[in-house]
């Protein structure tokens, strides 16, 4: 009865690609397609053929460089499953060209999105929002949500002795009778809708905080380490670690994956700085940095 959501970093470093592969109950999609991700996915046997969706945040090459080889290799290996490529609407022609030159254009559906636009793709709701990264182009973040499900109160059901065949009915929102007693979904389950929010590259901005509210997982750039890099971060449209942590705390997210780390800093330094920025209270988000997959049950 447990659902699995996994985020697999393909690299956590800026410039070298910070793409993330998501496996959401068997639905696989890619957040950006930076340099080297095709090789990573193929060599690590992460399911190149199963990827149904690629979300491109913006047209800087470290975020889409591998789109052509990704599509080309799928074609060369004989994979026939169609794939949706989502991108900023004003860059639609660029990504249609990528699909064409990959020789897999007939297997790729390229979709341009605008801020606040919503689409249903691969059984998930995708909403785009604008972030503040480059002054001369549209840069998007994405909020990806599932349909609301009911999560069972397992301990309560076990205490009651309710057989597992009735659990499924309660999970579907049905009222059931057990030993002469009416069991309602409201008493033995609760609504749950998981959400992943991906920032792409951005400075601190209110649009990201709004989109991230109560996210299950916030995947957020944290390029520079601390306040000593504030001017540099602003110059290039990026954040420091403290900005990313603040957004996660303000939005009351459950998990934070910090990405797009500058080569100036190690993963250990980023994690240490993030922990330093966290208040000493309970109920805080879990922090993740580096290449280890994030697994959420």
Domain assignment of residue 174, given as a range: 149-190
Same domain, 66 and 160: no
Nearest in space to 219 (alpha carbons), one of 3, 8, 4, 2: 8
Q: How far apart are CA 284 and CA 272, in angstroms?
A: 15
Q: What is the CATH number of the domain that holds 12?
A: 3.60.15.10
Q: How far apart are CA 188 and CA 236, in angstroms?
A: 50
Indicate the SS3 state at residue 111.
strand
Same domain, 153 and 133: no
Strand partners, 149: 192
Residue at a domain's end among 163, 190, 217:
190
The pLDDT tens digits along the chain (297 residues) read 457 899 999 988 887 778 999 999 999 999 999 999 999 999 999 999 999 999 999 999 999 999 999 999 999 999 999 999 999 999 999 999 999 999 999 999 999 999 999 999 999 999 999 999 998 899 999 999 998 878 889 999 999 899 988 998 988 889 999 998 999 988 888 888 999 999 999 999 999 999 999 999 999 999 999 999 999 999 999 999 999 999 999 999 999 999 999 999 999 999 999 999 999 888 899 999 999 899 998
Nearest in space to 198 (alpha carbons), one of 129, 109, 117: 129
Q: How far apart are CA 265 and CA 221, in angstroms?
A: 14
Same domain, 58 and 186: no
Contact of 95 with 110, CB cutoff 8 Å? yes
**Is pTM beyond 0.75 here?**
yes
Same domain, 167 and 108: no
Nearest in space to 29 (alpha carbons), one of 55, 53, 64, 5: 53
Q: How far apart are CA 125 and CA 195, in angstroms?
A: 9
Domain count, the chain: 2
């Amino acid at each position: 009865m447990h659902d699995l959501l996994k985020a697999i970093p393909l690299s956590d470093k800026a410039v070298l690609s910070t793409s993330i592969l998501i496996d959401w109950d068997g639905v696989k999609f890619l957040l950006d397609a930076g340099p080297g991700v095709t090789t990573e996915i193929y060599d690590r046997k992460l399911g190149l053929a199963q990827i149904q969706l690629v979300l491109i945040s913006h047209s800087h090459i470290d975020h889409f460089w591998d789109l052509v080889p990704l599509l080309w290799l799928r074609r060369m290996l004989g994979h026939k499953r169609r794939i949706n490529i989502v991108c900023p609407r004003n860059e639609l022609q660029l990504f249609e060209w990528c699909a064409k030159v990959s020789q897999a254009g007939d297997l790729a559906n390229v979709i341009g999105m605008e801020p606040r636009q919503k689409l249903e793709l691969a059984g998930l709701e995708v909403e785009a929002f604008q972030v503040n990264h480059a002054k001369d182009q549209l840069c998007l973040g994405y909020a990806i949500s599932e349909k609301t499900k009911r999560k069972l109160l397992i301990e309560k059901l076990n205490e009651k002795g309710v057989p597992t065949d009735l659990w499924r009915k309660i999970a579907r929102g049905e009222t059931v009778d057990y030993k002469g007693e009416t069991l309602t979904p409201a008493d033995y389950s609760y609504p749950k809708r998981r959400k992943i929010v991906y920032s792409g590259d951005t400075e601190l901005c209110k649009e990201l905080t709004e989109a991230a509210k109560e996210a299950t997982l916030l995947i957020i750039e944290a390029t520079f380490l601390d306040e000593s890099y504030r001017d540099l971060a602003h110059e290039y449209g990026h954040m420091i670690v403290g900005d990313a942590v603040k957004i996660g705390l303000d939005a009351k997210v459950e998990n934070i994956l910090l990405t797009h780390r500058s080569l100036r800093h190690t993963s250990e330094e980023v994690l240490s700085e993030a922990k330093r920025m966290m208040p000493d209270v309970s109920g805080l988000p879990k922090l993740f940095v580096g290449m280890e997959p994030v697994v959420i049950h």
